[in-house]
Amino acid sequence: MTFDCSLGETEALVMRAGRGAGLSWGQAQEAGRAVVRLAAAGLPAVTWLASALPKIQATPYAGRCPGNPFDLSGAVANKPSPDTAPGVRPGLCPVALGCGLADALPINARRCGTAVFEFESVWSPALIAGFLLPVAKRLGLSVRLKFNQTEMVTMHGLISSNGDPQCLSIEQAEHVLVILKLSDDTEHAAMLATDSSPGMTRCEIDDQVYAQLQAYAYKTYVPSTAVTRAEGAGAGLTDND
């Protein structure tokens, strides 16, 4: 069973669920937007995000946040801090990583040539493409994401992927490469030729995933009391008009 959701609902639900799991409002908003970009391309990004939420909730920000993604000097593999809850494998949050990389793209774009970033132990790594899509488009970059024998590419506002869909949906990839370079016309033409993304206008969310996201979203709502019910919104409880 699935829920047929509008893209606006999907974005709002993901944002609220992300916040409920411990993301900042800003990162939760970005997560909502990134998931919708991927969902509009026909990818099961809502499920990818849902699988990362328990780990995000269990890990303090410092433990799941990448290091400085602008440092190209030592190619030190960014890896998660060991500061995680017992029973939770350390990993890098795809939301923090996606935001950090997207923020860094304009800085890195000024440096000529190809830039390569490596990361270890990334939760739901395919989500990263959703964060990079609009910035890559604006800067004329092609961004390749490689992990688990699969590859995603985003350029000119398009996303493509190859490899086994199950590989794409991996919950944690031990080695992720992000490769940036200026896109060229040949690459763009090839991508257009193979673009079979359906341009989704709706998002089908598995009902268990929907329930999970709703449970996280409810952590952002304030329980009602008799006083707040009567006074918080303004209108009276009964009609006298």
Partner 1 sequence: MPLSPLPVGRAPETSQDTEKGAEASPIESVGSELRPPAQVMRLQRLGSFHQSRLSFLRILLRRMTGERWRLQRTYWDVDSTGVGTAIYEARGPARTYSLIAFARSLADADRSDRVIANAWDASFALFDGVPNAADIKRLSAQVPLQEAGRVSRSELTLSRANRSVRIFDHVRQALAAGRQPDPEVLNETGYLMRTTAVYGSGKFGAIDHRFLRDRDELAAPFQAEMLTVYLIRQFSFDIVEHLASADAPSQASTLAPASKRALGVGNATGLGMAPFLINHPVLFNNWILARETALQRIRSLPYATENTVDAFRDVVGRARQCASTWSSAHVGYQSRIKHYRQDLARLTDWMLKTDCFERRFPWDAVFCWAQDQLSIEGQEAVVSLLFEPHGELVDDLVAMMHADETDSHVLDGSMTVADMMAVIESGYASALETDFTNHEQSARFWYVSEEKLEPRIGERHCEPGADRESPLAASRDAVALYQVCRQFDAHDPIAVLVLQYPDLRHVAHRLQTLMRYPYAEIQDNLIAASLQPIDMLRCKLSFFGANHFDPRSDRWVRITLARHAPLMDELTQFADDWIYPPAA
Report in angstroms the alpha-carbon separations of 212 from 33, 149, 171, 182, 222.
Answer: 19, 29, 16, 39, 18
Whether the Cβ atoms of residue 152 and residue 159 lie closer than 8 Å to each other: yes
Q: How far is the CB of 109 from partner 1 (least distance, A)?
A: 8
Nearer to partner 1, 112 or 222 (CB): 222
Q: How far is the CB of 146 from partner 1 (least distance, A)?
A: 23
At its nearest, how many Å lie between partner 1 and the CB of residue 207? Answer: 12
CA separation for the pair 64, 97 (Å, rounded):
9
How many angstroms separate the CA atoms of 152 and 178, rounded? 10
Of 16 and 148, the one with the shorter C-beta distance to partner 1 is 16
- Shortest Å distance, C-beta 92 to partner 1: 12
Q: How far is the CB of 148 from partner 1 (least distance, A)?
A: 25
3-state secondary structure of 144: strand
| Residue 69 or 148 with smaller CB distance to partner 1 | 69
> CB of residue 63 vs partner 1: minimum separation in angstroms?
13
Q: 142, 110 in Cβ contact below 8 A?
A: no
Q: Which is nearer to partner 1, 102 or 170 (CB)?
A: 102
Nearer to partner 1, 53 or 170 (CB): 53
Q: Which is nearer to partner 1, 23 or 152 (CB)?
A: 23
d(CA 75, CA 119): 10
Quick one: CA dihedral 153, 159, 165, 168, positive or negative? positive
Exposed, middle or buried by CB within 10 Å (0-12, 13-18, 19+), for 154?
A: buried
Residue 179 token pair:
């490769």
CA–CA dist 100, 27 (Å, integer): 10
Strand partners, 123: 172
Residues that bind partner 1 (CB under 8 A): 3-9, 23-27, 29-30, 33, 37, 61, 65-66, 68-70, 96, 99-100, 102-107, 110, 134-135, 138, 201-202, 218-224, 227-229, 232-241
